[in-house]
Amino acid sequence: MVRGEGLPSLHMDTDHIRSQFPALERTHHGRQVMYFDGAAGTQAPTAVIDAISNTLRAGISNHGEPAASSRFSDAIVMDARSAVADLYNASPDEIVFAQNMTSHTFALSRALATTWTEGDEIVLTRMDHDANIAPWLRVADERGVTVRWVDFADYRLDPDSFSAVLGPRTRLIAVTAASNALGTVVDIPAVAERVRSLSPALLFVDAVHCAPHRSIDVKAWDADFLVASAYKFYGPHIGALYARSEHLAALPAYKVRPAPETGPDRWETGTQSFETIAGVTAAIDYLATLGDGETRREQLQNAYLAIGAHEQVLADRFLAGVAELEHVTVYGLTEGDRTSTFSIAVDGLTDEQVAVALADQGIFVSHGTYYAVEVLKSLGQTGLTRIGFVHYNTTDEVDAVLSALDALA
């Protein structure tokens, strides 16, 4: 159990948590596997798996019909909008579903670009992954819009560095809330303050890597748009976009003619994946069980405090252990606000060789650029190995990966 001063008790029973994730029972060559690839996608608890299968088993129909199975689909979407609204601290009518974060960003970039003219400017950061870079580069090129970059230094993204690139013709700032490569957590409220004081720009926040590790608050962050993918926070493969209601109403949605003209529905092209949308609600409800509170929002906030405390223990243990391995280099903060995600290099081995060697022992990690193209370019690297811990990982698992890395010397 983890307790915060002045807060209700925060439940972090790792054994109980792990019992809810069937994938954690998987074995490889007789060994129980260890998932350290959460930054590429977390495993799902039984509640999410059941929500998806039970939805399909019950029978669903498309929207707009009097059948009970159609009303069931309506209820699934409404429940999920409320759940994501609680996760983001938004209103249900500001939540849109699509296949993933990348799909959302491409669709929104196309709509926003219709409001830009040649000579306008947008701001991107080299700390983000390509799903929050490539869509904006594409439409900027098509519209003759200037792209300005914000670099990171010492593995940090300084909010003050935005001041130099903001101006009266800045139309958009696209920024990550946490780096999926470096683990760095970005001070989004401070970035928003610079934006509001220096330009008329809209703020688009990539919260994909933030969502499993930190509480999200679109109101406190003063974001115009924010998007995350549920498979990064223990749900199925689907993305959830927050957009202020006035933007959803004003921007041109690329949709079929019979689609609704108002509300988030006008942005949800085609028939939605109702079963995975049901899984989103289940994932958020699962997270809420990890914290106390009178409302689901309060439970989620307290759950993230517990998650953060547990992951900090894992991160500290990993950093202390890897510091003793002279053949391993960590690219990222060794102190300060960061998630429990680490990019490393091992002397004499490629990132792929490291990942293969670990995988052979049932230790599952990521390697390559993990879409963080600009990050690795800035580091002068073509590929690194990423080791990430989430709340279902244990200190014993941290010790196991440190031992495996030690053996690679």
Over residues 157-189, the pLDDT tens digits come to 999 999 999 999 999 999 999 999 999 999 999
Of 234, 264, 288, which residue is a domain's last? 288
Distance CA(113)–CA(115), nearest Å, equals: 5
pLDDT at 99 over 90: yes
- Terminal CA-to-CA distance of the chain, rounded, Å? 37
Q: Are residues 198 and 159 in the same domain?
A: yes
Interval 312-331 mean pLDDT: 97
Q: Are residues 70 and 112 in the same domain?
A: yes
Model pLDDT, residue 11: 53
The whole-chain average pLDDT of the chain stands at 95
Of 288, 307, 338, which residue is a domain's last? 288
pLDDT at 98 over 60: yes
pLDDT grade for 2, boundaries at 50, 70 and 90: very low
Q: Are residues 271 and 343 in the same domain?
A: no
The DSSP code for 130 is G
Supply the range of the domain harboring residue 354. 2-44+296-406
Over residues 29-66, the pLDDT tens digits come to 999 999 999 999 999 999 999 999 999 999 999 988 99
Of 288, 315, 333, which residue is a domain's last? 288
Q: Are residues 81 and 204 in the same domain?
A: yes
Is the pTM above the cut of 0.75? yes
Query: In 18-45, which positions are buried (b, 16+ CB within 10 angstroms) versus exposed (e)?
Result: bebbeebeeeeeeeebbbbbbbbbbbbb
**Which CATH number belongs to the domain containing residue 304 in this structure?**
3.90.1150.10
